[in-house]
A and B are shown apart, each in its own frame.
Chain A
Amino acid sequence: MQDHTELRVIRQRPSGTSRPFLGSSPPLESAAARSLYIHIPFCSHKCHYCDFYSIVDTRDRQSRFTKRLIRELRAIAPNAGGLPLRTLFIGGGTPSLLGLDHWEDLLETLRESFDLQEMRTGVGEFTVECNPDTATPELLGLLRCGYVNRVSMGAQSFHAAHLRTLERHHDPESVPRAIESARAAGIGRQSLDLIYAIPGQTLADLDRDLDSALALGTEHLSAYTLTYEPGTAMTARLSRGEFVRAEEDLEADMFEHVARRLSSAGLIRYEVSNFARPGGECRHNMAYWRQDQWLAAGPSASGHFAGHRWKNVPRLDEYLESDDAGFVAIVEHEPPDARRALGEWLMTGVRLAEGLDLDAGLARADEISPTIRADVCRVIERYASSSHLVRIGARIAPTEDGFLIVDRIARDLLRATDAG
């Protein structure tokens, strides 16, 4: 029995706030966002490992979605400051599932509301994620006309049995065809996604996947370790004992093997799970990891602007309904915070082969507190002495051994920013 004077409601429904930090008039040039991410939330089937926000749409909401997205794009566009966008990434979900007429509307809006001249000339990067079986020549042609110059193709594996384990529905044969179609359409840059450490997969299986991927001659490859995310079907199946998870040692062997095999073919690890020929790095993702600013549109899309981080509401219905002069409801808004920003910069930077500009980092730390600077220094020295980090000129970067424990390094760096 408690004192009943104080009765509190603890279950509060988190309600979206709109975004006070995104203006409807153009910001100063230096403050403009030069990157844009757009999330298309539809998939034809939910792959079992996937925790991206996407739905198998049974209610035919593509045209409502496209209309809403267009309103949102128009609302946020002034924050690009009228300057040319440098990178644009349309991901999902399965963007290639969006109907051709919707694509036409979307591309037209982008051309009208943003300056795409760098995309047109090829200096900028405009990527669309595609599933191999929905990337038709018609669609690819249309994308090309809208200045798309890069596709990211979800291959995951070339082995039908492993694709089945992942509940990934596509025919491995369709990947080379889709890459070929992209090239034929004039989309010059392509990337493939692979997943490894799939239950039952051997090192030899992985090697064959890498060979098949390399045979396609793409300039970029992402290779992800299968991650059991909470709430996914894969995780539920694992806990039901439907399969055995790859041993940690095998995962580690694979992680190292991927880097070796790809580098011998000229694709260098530039981030934990990303490999490219020199110059073929994904500039859009690099913008994320170097803590640049970007705008975001579509449900669940995350943005970073003027020190704010936020996420659009990750539910299609709410996305369609909320409409504050074109803006949508957001969740998980984090206002500017020097300490958080430093932590994030260290965390994402230490995952890059180019590493971090040490002096700049320490100066930032010093501004918050000398204790933080000292703690960050200590962590870096510790990992440098164990050869997990290495100094390259003015930068500090992970070694191959360092990549293997980069979460541990990032945790220690984050902890260092807690101090003082």
Chain B
Amino acid sequence: MNIRNFSIIAHIDHGKSTLADRLLQATNAVSAREAREQLLDSMDLERERGITIKASAVTVMHRHKPGATSDELETDYEAPVDEAGTHKTKNAADKADSHGDLYMLNFIDTPGHVDFTYEVSRALKACEGALLVVDSTQGVQAQTVVNAYLAINENLTIIPVINKIDLPSAQPDKVAQELEQVLGFPAEECIYVSAKTGQGLPELLATICDKLPAPKPSTMPQARGLIFDAVYDDYRGVIVYIRMFDGSIKVGDKIRMMGLGRTFQITDLGKYTPKPNRVPSLSAGETGYMVAAIRTLADVRVGDTVTLDLHPASEPLEGYQPPRQMVFCDFYPATDEEQRGNSFEELREAIEKLSLNDSAFTFQAVHSEALGFGFRCGFLGLLHMDIVQERLEREGGVQVVQTAPTVSYLVTTRGKGGELVEQEIHNPADLPDAGVIEEIKEPICRVDLILPKDKIGDIMKLCMERRGIYKSQTFVSDSREMLSFHIPLAEIIYDFYDKLKGITSGYGTMDYEIIGYEPDRLVKVDILINGDPVQALALITHKDKSEQRGRQILSKLRGQIPRHQFEIPLQAAIGGKIIARETIKAFRKDVTAKCYGGDVSRKRKLLEKQKEGKKRMKNVGSVNIPQEAFMAVLDTSED
């Protein structure tokens, strides 16, 4: 059997998931009746946000005559719908040989957002090829470049695919030129498709079969499979996604995880077609899932090698770099005024369960005076943080209070004996006394931005305001340039991306990578509410910006903390010295004097919502602080 393993990679929204839909349809894996948009995005959250968060691996069958010209190509097998939902791929398999050879296509739809680059690199390790999708109305964007380099570094064969050619504003030839200019792919090798109408799909399938290499034959008789993902399922325990490189495994085998050294018995093997479809065994070159009575994700490490316990391989496969958490924040259980709500234990359960599903975030129990027991969590980026919070609430059924994100700092202190000690700090509250601090280093990123030429000046200004250092400028096309800066991560985690999108009317794109730590004049700003310092609101910032930031935060807090029956002073301080102050006056009025006529339901729902809204409060002394207030530090806009 011919096998092709490939990933679909692209900048966000360039149409990977839609192209995956078309591939499923063109190979009859999914009948028209079952077809839905972005079928592989199965999480509710993915479907609501219209983005892919988790990579998805599926297997389809396709018949192809090697080297066939495009008018001989055929993809529509007109197969009857299989009500029982059994193996759809038999449609292709059953076809007469005259339709060509049978190909098993294993492909992985990947996320495009910068926070999920690690999902892409995992997927790429399980493949020999990649479809690099570029939107013909948008051209090459920051993640196009980054993802292409990821694939090049893995020595994958890349098929450049120019998508959305059905749109009137499509400029496929111009985009092909950009690909040649920026990444060096010959413009004439680009395949033009519309993932919406299916135009170009036969050529694409033919190119996949003809151009992508078959998996390399086994280099050893022992079985070796790479774990490229794992998910937790309430009923079956952990489901492990495997790409076999050598030998084979079958149901009933006792396997060993080479890194963790644990053994399990395989109870189930299968492939997603995209319905789960059992198979008796998985051999070198194939991709599929494995169930082996693994209880928790802690028993599995993505990137580990699976081998047979009886005939183990001597060397594991090359694994992954574990993802680096760069953004940190605390989650606390939310309670209402009467302290009703979730408990710490419920939060722990939800976090542990989610971590089974997302191994890229870290967590550690913490205690804060104002907020009680909670967890300090680490994330790949801001969107990742957002998504973890939303999944905790949605899938874990807990409500959380989230503190403003910070980055990790390297702090050097001088000990009693004069010796220098460096420690990593994820939480401004952990910062030692200013007196003993010798130096604070912060993470610095290389930020690549692709922009319309006429916005370069504005973006330069933005980057400078964020303590950026200009590095280089690269030609992309007549209308666009790529700029490169070094900027402290702390300056981009808040709202840099929003600002970029705003300034460039959505046309600018960015990617960033941490390149190291550098020292700067950083200070801790404490925020006091009603005289009490609230650790969860403390922040580390550059000295020159501290006063301005302090003022901004207080004014945001003033807008967000509801009035109480008493006056509440707000202060910002550096080492005991007050640098800004504000006051929240006592409340007087809580009435909507509005004409709502007969729409009684609406009025009731509004009041109920406000009533619910109270749940997300935290008591600091006698002050109720809403959840959003802990995020006030996020917003750097002036007002």
User: CB within 8 Å of B: which residues of A?
Assistant: 1-11, 37, 91, 193, 222-225, 227, 241, 248-249, 251-252, 255, 272-273, 285, 288, 294, 296, 301-304, 309, 311, 332, 334, 340, 343-344, 347-348, 403-408, 410-411, 414-415
Contacts and interface: CB of A to CB of B under 8 A. Distances in A.
Given A2-B54, A4-B276, A304-B598, A225 B603 contact: no
Interface stretch (B43-51, B318-326, B430-438, B514-522): B43-51
Nearest to B234: A3
B231 A2 contact: yes
A332 B591 contact: no
B49 to A, nearest CB: 11
Given A410-B607, A411-B607, A414-B607, A5 B590 contact: no
Interface of B: 36, 39-40, 42-44, 47-48, 54-57, 229, 231, 233, 239, 241, 272, 274-276, 563, 585, 587-595, 597-604, 607-608, 610-611, 639
Nearest to A296: B598
B611 A2 contact: no
Given A224-B594, A241-B639, A404 B600 contact: no
Contact of A10 (B47, B54, B274, B610): B47
Given A227-B594, A296-B598, A309-B600, A9 B36 contact: yes
A16 to B, nearest CB: 16
Contacts of B607: 347, 407, 410-411, 414
A309 B594 contact: no
A12 to B, nearest CB: 12
A225 B272 CA distance: 58
Contact of B593 (A9, A255, A410): A255
A273 B611 contact: no
Nearest to B44: A10
Given A10-B48, A414-B608, A91 B589 contact: no
A301 B602 CA distance: 12
7 contacts: A3-B239, A4-B42, A37-B597, A251-B589, A272-B592, A273-B593, A408-B590
Nearest to B611: A411
A5 B276 contact: yes
A410 B55 CA distance: 48
B597 A288 contact: yes
B598 A302 contact: yes
Contacts of A303: 598
A363 to B, nearest CB: 21
Contact of A225 (B56, B592, B600): B592
A340 B601 CA distance: 9
Contacts of B597: 37, 91, 285, 288, 302
Contacts of B599: 302, 311
A308 B597 CA distance: 17
Contact of A3 (B36, B233, B585, B608): B233
Residue among B54, B594, B600 facing the most chain A CB atoms (10 A cut-off):
B600
B128 to A, nearest CB: 20
Contact of B274 (A4, A91, A302, A410): A4
Given A248-B563, A251-B589, A302-B601, 7 more contacts: A2-B43, A248-B585, A309-B601, A347-B607, A405-B589, A411-B610, A414-B604
Chain A interface mostly: mixed
Nearest to B607: A411
B109 to A, nearest CB: 10
Contacts of A285: 597
A340 B605 CA distance: 11
A10 B55 CA distance: 20
Contacts of B563: 248
B593 A272 contact: yes
Q: Which 7 A-B pairs have the closest CB atoms?
A: A252-B589, A273-B593, A225-B593, A252-B588, A408-B590, A405-B590, A302-B598
Contacts, number: 130
Contacts of B42: 2-4, 6-7
Residue among A7, A340, A405 facing the most chain B CB atoms (10 A cut-off):
A7
A274 to B, nearest CB: 9
A251 B589 CA distance: 8
Nearest to B605: A332
Nearest to B108: A1
A252 B591 CA distance: 9
B56 A1 contact: yes
A309 B602 CA distance: 11
A255 B604 contact: no
A311 B43 CA distance: 33
A405 B352 CA distance: 43
B496 to A, nearest CB: 21
Residue among A193, A405, A407 facing the most chain B CB atoms (10 A cut-off):
A407
B47 A348 contact: no
Contacts of B608: 414
A285 B42 CA distance: 48
B241 A406 contact: no
Contacts of B639: 241
Nearest to A332: B601
A311 B585 CA distance: 40
A301 B454 CA distance: 50
A265 to B, nearest CB: 19
Residue among A1, A193, A272, A340 facing the most chain B CB atoms (10 A cut-off):
A1
Contacts of B604: 340, 343-344, 347, 414
A37 B599 CA distance: 11
Contacts of B595: 193, 222, 224, 273
Contacts of B233: 3
Contact of A4 (B44, B275, B587, B590): B275
A1 B54 contact: yes
A273 B594 contact: yes
B592 A5 contact: no
Contacts of A1: 54-57, 229, 231, 241, 272
A241 B637 CA distance: 12
A288 B601 CA distance: 11
Given A2-B43, A5-B275, A334 B601 contact: yes
Contact of B47 (A11, A344, A347, A415): A11
B598 A37 contact: yes
A348 B592 CA distance: 12
B226 to A, nearest CB: 15
Contacts of B590: 404-408
A227 B595 CA distance: 10
A248 B589 contact: yes
Contacts of A407: 590-592, 607, 610
A404 B591 contact: yes
B591 A403 contact: yes
B598 A3 contact: no
B38 to A, nearest CB: 11
A20 B42 CA distance: 36
A404 B588 contact: yes
Residue among A4, A227, A251 facing the most chain B CB atoms (10 A cut-off):
A4
Contacts of A2: 42-43, 54, 231
Nearest to B55: A1
Nearest to B601: A309
Nearest to B47: A10
A397 B367 CA distance: 46
A304 B600 CA distance: 9
Contacts of A249: 585, 588
Nearest to A193: B595
A5 B34 CA distance: 12
A244 B438 CA distance: 46
A3 B57 CA distance: 11
A418 B576 CA distance: 46
A150 to B, nearest CB: 15
Contacts of A406: 590-591
Contacts of B593: 223-225, 227, 255, 272-273
Contacts of A224: 593-595
A206 B593 CA distance: 16
